[in-house]
A and B are shown apart, each in its own frame.
Chain A
């Protein structure tokens, strides 16, 4: 079974530029998550999709971050404009079931963003 795919793996941009990350979850997984992991911290949920609907975006800085999941499969996360404090690893995860607390989240390798 293929895992969660993310691209690019690394990205360096200057502040005020825009950037987009892409995630392809495990085939058939209903729920997709985007996390932000700042160096030395645990992952923090930014947004959760169930199929192609948003179920939790309470911690997404909506003035600069946006995300979409087209056709309930792939997802993109965009930052515009980027700030220095956005430097982090952006992790995508997916689960097979919709909304089940006991379902295992499978993580991708992440995209490491550096904002200069």
Chain B
């Protein structure tokens, strides 16, 4: 079993839709949860960062963490064609002491006009 599971999609939605992206994980020691966005032929860039359980909102983006279920989500409101990218969840806080990130496989999102 992978430490982090993420549905690769692809997910295709119309412009303006609410998008829900999810990851599950198995390591209960994870405490720091991130969402990265990766455009084609580019490196990942950090979108959202959440510590432990709870919600965090930034503009059209909301990140949720449910540690009891080992489940994290990213919601995108009023999706735009410019949101078309691969979204990677990542987490850390396990053994090792350094910020070694464990990434999900990424979900490809396409927002069509």
Contact = CB atoms under 8 A, between A and B. Distances in A.
A92 B100 CA distance: 14
Contacts of B43: 4, 91, 93, 107-110
Q: Is the interface of B mostly helix, strand, loop or mixed?
A: loop
22 contacts: A40-B105, A42-B6, A42-B88, A42-B105, A43-B101, A45-B100, A48-B98, A56-B96, A93-B43, A95-B99, A99-B98, A101-B32, A101-B92, A101-B93, A101-B99, A102-B49, A102-B51, A104-B49, A105-B46, A105-B99, A109-B41, A112-B41
Contacts, number: 64
B97 interface: yes
Q: How many of chain B's residues touch chain A, expressed as a range?
A: 20 to 34
Contacts of A91: 43-44
Contacts of B6: 42
A14 interface: no
Interface of A: 4, 40-45, 48, 50, 55-56, 91, 93, 95, 99-110, 112
Interface of B: 4, 6, 8, 31-32, 41-46, 49, 51, 88, 90, 92-93, 96-101, 103-106
B32 A102 contact: yes
A101 B51 CA distance: 10
A4 to B, nearest CB: 7
A45 B44 CA distance: 14
A102 B4 CA distance: 19
Given A56-B98, A101-B98, A110-B42, 8 more contacts: A41-B106, A42-B4, A45-B100, A48-B98, A95-B99, A102-B99, A107-B44, A108-B43
Contacts of A104: 46, 49
Contacts of B44: 43, 91, 107
Contacts of B93: 101
